[in-house]
Amino acid sequence: MSKINIKIVEVDQDSHTVIVKYASEKSQKPIDDYPAVAFQVTNYNVATADEFIEAIRPQVSLYVWQRDLQENPAKSVDLTGWEGHAVEVDAYELPEPAAPSVSPINAFVNAEVTL
C-alpha cells in the first residue's frame, strides 16, 4: 500500500475552508511544489485536523493516483491486437433518479405567465 502525505497549508475559519497540498511516494515533485486544493468542512462531526484528514483521504487518494498516473505514464502499451475486439458487458449500475417533486410536464400545462 502506498503512502500519501497531506499537508494543511491554510485555513479560513469564517468559511470553514481548509487548503491542503498532497504528494505520494511516486510523485515527481516535493509536496510544496504542487498547487493546493481547497476543501470546505461541511461535516461538523469532524472536530480535529486528523478527523478532517481521514474524511478527505478517499478523495485525495483519487487525486494523487490520477496525478501520479499522468506524471508516470506506462512506458509502452501494445495495441496491435486491439483492432476488431468486441465484447458485451453489463452496464454500470447507476442509482435510480429521485422522483421529481413537481413534474416538468405540468409546468407547461398553462404556458401563459401573468405578471
Q: Does residue 108 form part of some domain?
A: no
Q: Does residue 115 form part of some domain?
A: no
Tens of pLDDT along 70-85? 998 877 888 899 999 9
Alpha-carbon distance 71 to 93, whole Å? 31
Mean pLDDT, to the nearest integer, of 12-39? 94
Angle at Cα 65 formed by Cα 5 and Cα 10, nearest 5°? 40
pLDDT at 100 exceeding the cut of 70: no
Q: What is the DSSP string of 71-90?
A: HS--S----TTTTT-----P
Alpha-carbon distance 95 to 97, whole Å? 6
Q: How many domains does the chain have?
A: 1
Q: Which domain holds residue 49?
A: 4-71
Q: How confident is the model at residue 95 (pLDDT cuts 50, 70, 90)?
A: confident
Q: How confident is the model at residue 38 (pLDDT cuts 50, 70, 90)?
A: very high
